[in-house]
Amino acid sequence: MNLVNEMIKFTSYSLSDFILFSETTYYRQFELYNNAIWPLHIIAIAFSIMILYAFWKKPIWGGRLIALLLILSWGWVAWAFLYERFYSIHVVANWYAWGFVIQAGLLWWYGIVKNHLIICEQNHLRTYIGRGLLFSALILYPFIILFSGRSWMQFEMFALTPDPTVLATLAILLLCKVPLVLYIIPIVWGIISCMTLLVM
């Protein structure tokens, strides 16, 4: 009987019951973070420009350059945002950080060592989707803040915060010929992020 009662009690919970922070607290982290890391935003813009250049000119070393920029971005987000900032309000953020570190390691292995990050835009549907996602992640994402009603200092940028970094990575994977294992962590993060935003 006790087991049945516990099961009924467990099913009464919703996803929002497992979120230990409010929407205000969550977005406040971005504002504090942006204030703390300025002027690294200029470097993030430079990263975006270099990635767009690599896709435009398609140099022979373009895949390795993109892989290096993604490695630095995933590694930085893991330490500076997820572990140093997000962990203060979310007890499993350190596990998220490890996920980002693992993805950086996979990008190093397949993108730098194996040189498997090959720019390959032959499938037109994948190319259109990839380009659209890349444009959204690198250029549009910081401006979403203007339509959200939040403080402009809470903006999110590729190479500095998780969501645009993951979105840009997925776009790049679609535009390149890469092993499927590189998709796993970005897709898992996308699901986690969407669920978090939906239940806050």
Whether cis (ω within 30° of 0) applies to the bond prior to 39 is: yes
The answer on pLDDT for 155 being more than 80 is yes
| Percent of the chain predicted with pLDDT > 90 | 71
Average pLDDT, integer, range 148-158: 92
> Which pLDDT band holds residue 15 (cuts at 50, 70, 90)?
very low
Using one digit for the tens of pLDDT, what is the confidence trace for 156-173?
A: 999 999 999 999 999 999
- Residue extents of the structural domains in the chain: 38-199
Tell me, rounded to whole angstroms, the distance of Cα 112 from its chain centroid.
20
> Which pLDDT band holds residue 18 (cuts at 50, 70, 90)?
very low
Using one digit for the tens of pLDDT, what is the confidence trace for 85-94?
A: 999 888 889 9
- Global model pTM greater than 0.85: yes
Using one digit for the tens of pLDDT, what is the confidence trace for 76-109?
A: 999 999 999 999 888 889 999 999 999 999 999 9
